[in-house]
Chain A
Amino acid sequence: MITPDSISQHGLSMEEYEKILSLLGRQPSIEELGVFSVMWSEHCSYKNSRLELKKFPTDGPKVLVKAGEENAGVLDLGDGWAIAFKIESHNHPSALEPFQGAATGVGGIIRDIFTMGARPLFLMNSLRFGSITGNSQRAAENRRLFAGVVAGIGHYGNSIGIPTIGGEIYFDESYHGNPLVNAFSLGVLKQDQIARGAARGVGNLIFYVGAQTGRDGLAGAAFASRELTEESKADRPAVQVGDPFREKLLLEACLELLATGSVVGIQDMGAAGLTCSTAETASRGGTGVDIDLELVPKRSDDLTSYELLLSESQERMLVIVEEGKEASIERIFKKWELPYAFLGRVTGDGKMKVRRGSQVVVDIPAEALTQEAPLYRREAASWKPPAPLDLQTVPLADPLLVLHELLSYPSIACKRWVWSQYDQTVGNGTVVSAGSDAAVFYVREANKFLAATSDCNAIYCSLDPYEGAKIAVAEAARNLACSGALPLGATDNLNFGNPYKPVSFFQLRAAIEGIAEGCRAFDIPVTGGNVSLYNESPLSSIDPTPTVALVGFIQSPEEITLQHFREPGDIIFLLGAIGSELGGSHYLLVSHKRKEGLPPRVDLGHEKAIHDQLRLLVRLGLVRSAHDCAEGGLAVALAESCFGSSRALSEAAELLGATIDLGNEDLRPDVALFNESQSRLLFSISPHTLTQVEEHLIASGLPFTRLGVVTREPKLSIQLKEKKYQWSTGALYQSWSTSLATIMKDQE
């Protein structure tokens, strides 16, 4: 039955197969081989990354459920409330079928949150696509993927009624054919209602609830195994299709179930479905499970045991119910009209035992699947930092044109085309959504304000993964600071290439170390996340993309700060140095088609001091606006600050201007305007508070520059030595706001 071929089709090495033989003391059945193959996959076991992930700081006074313990980490929000949040990738399904791939990604992350007992409050997502500009076939393909992913995210979130309020999108050739779709969700719960994914209490009942099982998501190995039985067209591996309506019922039913107190454990059937959920709950509970596949609700009767075990059908849940309490639970399933079945019981023998009627098809110690999973430290390539950029080789581009080019570059341009497809206001908690540094949400039941952001500049990471990952944390923290928030916790999504390639593994390891370093510096625990490896485009691996999502806390609504200038006459400051680093900048990429040099360095202690200083000024009520300087540097940050805040669909934003004097900085104009040195942010204040603000800034000892003043006349004017650069804010706004919609016209 088991041949070297079927072992390799299951993605297992001979060495791993030997380990299976010794754990079982016999040959596995084909079903058991399938179970091992998914449980020992990177997705479930993190076998290539786990040793590295241990480097993350995961403890903290506010951590209630630590990274890796459950489906999502949980943090203390105060007053008896807690939040659960997590980011997770759905890259490969989205490459195959962008709409359903992205939709089911959103569905999966929502389930991860409500299985913790939390009501999901909002969504964000971090997306990467290949280049979408131009008439090439490649660009058209990337536009199709982009449009499909955005529509799919909208479809799921909008239907289930959870607002999508933030995130980030970048376009780069390295993602051609391998888009990244990382979905984030956050939910709120009472601290005493944290649900666990553990099968506790021998004799307790195991229920299946939710959609029926079909052949969804059965690919690769599963398909190959199918040839063993029969072959027909209908048996092709099927794309997972999301059903947000069913998930809404499941969400309400699960929260109602958990409120009864009769549920001892609950686990999503996501990747690796029934297999993963039973093995993990048993392993966490230190128990065993004994279930009968014959009882599983099925879409068609001819599903094999193998398929039932490995199907990735969406919107399903495993619920472990205290014996004797089943009647109250079944009443809830019926109210929400959800298919359900009693599959079996929790046992004391530590085994995952699966029957099909009278026949035992799987009989494996649960711990063999989880604790005994292999662990590898792959070979990492040695690394030399890239050569610093030689400015002599960079011709000076006309800053007047460059600013327009940067603002209309898809990664920087206004994302209205995207967010207008997302319901951002359902739930009555969205205070700030897309279009400022971080999203701000009012958690009404707890009377608390949260900010959230996700960031990663993958150009920096491709040039220097350690420094780039540090910057991802620094930038996310800076975005929180600019919104008036203090970081609470982090979740990360590590998107990398094949770990068997020494370069990819080096990047993964360096990025983990960079994130760990960043999080320690800001005292932020990592509460969980996701690893997605094998992201390979036809040409090469993707740029390493360790996305960092941070959640922060805002003390009071008065401290919520936006990026937009407020009043003419307000005074504009730069907190941080003017900077001069052009390596890995968007200016180099967009105006010179070069992705090279040493990316900016970040001193995390200095960075934190800058954030603390801004937050102090915010707390004192002195800050009218604050905006991070990131891609495109100071000039882009100034232009964006001149564009008023608007969620309106049909009105143009209100436009202001700014008159800026950079003094006698001895810098090339392109370096002064577009460098991407870190630890810099813009903020504006009322002229009446000038003396007070300057006193604070001087006392801090931090570098700062009084840049100029906000003007009613919509013109951005920047003086550098004797030269003055001036733009119409209206024209800049035009470049920025219409770019994406124009590029995407053919998709409507």
Chain B
Amino acid sequence: MKARVTIMPQAAVLDPAGVATADALKHLGFEGVRSVRIGKSIELDLEHATEEELHQACRDLLSNPIMEDYHLEIFS
């Protein structure tokens, strides 16, 4: 079983990486960019795990709940 966790900075949290990258894209001529947010994607290869365990892993370790939101996808 496999799972993918997408972690993004919370909407209200400043994302300096996203701001810098959006500015760079505009410099390159991509005028249509409104904003860029940069997160990370984590792939897990699992022997077994319940959905609840995975959520716990996301909350406790993989994301920082103070500033990030996560989205969990499970593929059997």
Contact = CB atoms under 8 A, between A and B. Distances in A.
**A–B proximity contact (CB within 8 A):** yes
Interface of A: 96-97, 100, 211, 214-216, 234-243, 245-246, 299-300, 313-314, 337
B12 A236 contact: yes
7 contacts: A211-B14, A234-B11, A241-B14, A243-B16, A245-B16, A299-B14, A337-B23
Contacts of B10: 234, 236, 238
Nearest to A148: B64
Nearest to B35: A299
Interface in B1-43: 9-16, 19-20, 23
A236 B64 CA distance: 14
B67 interface: yes
B13 A243 contact: no
B66 interface: yes
Contacts of A299: 14
B67 A243 contact: no
Contacts of A211: 14
Given A100-B67, A299-B14, 12 more contacts: A96-B66, A214-B12, A214-B13, A215-B12, A234-B10, A234-B11, A242-B16, A243-B19, A246-B16, A246-B19, A300-B12, A314-B14
Contacts of A100: 67
B9 to A, nearest CB: 8
Given A96-B66, A97-B64, A97-B66, A241 B15 contact: yes
Given A97-B64, A97-B66, A97-B67, A238 B12 contact: yes
Nearest to B20: A245
B12 A241 contact: no
B14 A243 contact: yes
Contacts of B15: 241
Top 10 A-B pairs, shortest CB-CB distance: A243-B16, A238-B12, A234-B11, A241-B14, A215-B12, A239-B67, A238-B13, A97-B66, A239-B66, A234-B12
A97 B64 CA distance: 9
B16 A313 contact: no
Given A96-B66, A97-B64, A100-B67, A313 B14 contact: yes
B55 to A, nearest CB: 16
A236 B14 CA distance: 13
Contacts of B19: 243, 246
B17 to A, nearest CB: 9
Contacts of A239: 13, 66-67
A235 B13 CA distance: 10
B13 A241 contact: yes
A112 B38 CA distance: 30
B24 to A, nearest CB: 11
Contacts of B67: 97, 100, 238-239, 241
B23 to A, nearest CB: 7
Contacts of B20: 245
B49 to A, nearest CB: 23
A299 B23 CA distance: 14
Nearest to A235: B12
Given A243-B19, A245-B20, A337-B23, A216 B64 contact: no
Chain B, interface size category, equals 10 to 19
A189 B58 CA distance: 49
Nearest to A244: B16
B21 to A, nearest CB: 11
Nearest to A215: B12
Contacts of A215: 12
A242 to B, nearest CB: 8
A506 to B, nearest CB: 35
A171 to B, nearest CB: 24
Nearest to B69: A233
A100 B13 CA distance: 11
A237 B19 CA distance: 20
Contacts of A243: 14, 16, 19
Which residue among B13, B15, B20, B64 has the maximum number of chain A CB atoms within 10 Å of its CB?
A: B13
Contacts of B14: 211, 214, 216, 238, 240-241, 243, 299, 313-314
Nearest to B16: A243
A393 B60 CA distance: 46
Contacts of A240: 14
A513 B3 CA distance: 60
Interface string B50-64: 000000000000001
B15 to A, nearest CB: 7
B64 to A, nearest CB: 7
A214 B64 CA distance: 19
Given A234-B10, A234-B11, A337-B23, A241 B66 contact: no
Contacts of A242: 16
Contacts of B64: 97
A234 B13 CA distance: 9
Nearest to A236: B12
Nearest to A246: B16
A96 B20 CA distance: 25
B10 to A, nearest CB: 7
A239 B68 CA distance: 10
A739 to B, nearest CB: 27
B18 to A, nearest CB: 11
A136 to B, nearest CB: 18
A215 B13 CA distance: 7
Contacts of A314: 14
A234 B10 CA distance: 7
A211 B13 CA distance: 13
Which residue among B9, B14, B19, B20 has the maximum number of chain A CB atoms within 10 Å of its CB?
A: B14
Contacts of A216: 12-14
Contacts of B13: 214, 216, 238-239, 241
A439 to B, nearest CB: 29
A342 to B, nearest CB: 22
A686 B10 CA distance: 63
A215 B15 CA distance: 12
A211 B14 CA distance: 10
A519 to B, nearest CB: 39
A238 B69 CA distance: 12
A241 B16 contact: yes
A97 B11 CA distance: 17
B31 to A, nearest CB: 16
A314 B19 CA distance: 14
B33 to A, nearest CB: 15
B34 to A, nearest CB: 11
Nearest to A303: B12
Contacts of A236: 10, 12
A232 to B, nearest CB: 9
Nearest to A216: B14
B44 to A, nearest CB: 21
A583 B19 CA distance: 54
A234 B12 CA distance: 6
A211 B23 CA distance: 13
A20 to B, nearest CB: 29
B47 to A, nearest CB: 24
Contacts of B12: 214-216, 234-238, 300
A646 to B, nearest CB: 35
Which residue among B9, B10, B23 has the maximum number of chain A CB atoms within 10 Å of its CB?
A: B10
A135 B15 CA distance: 35
Contacts of A214: 12-14
Nearest to B19: A243
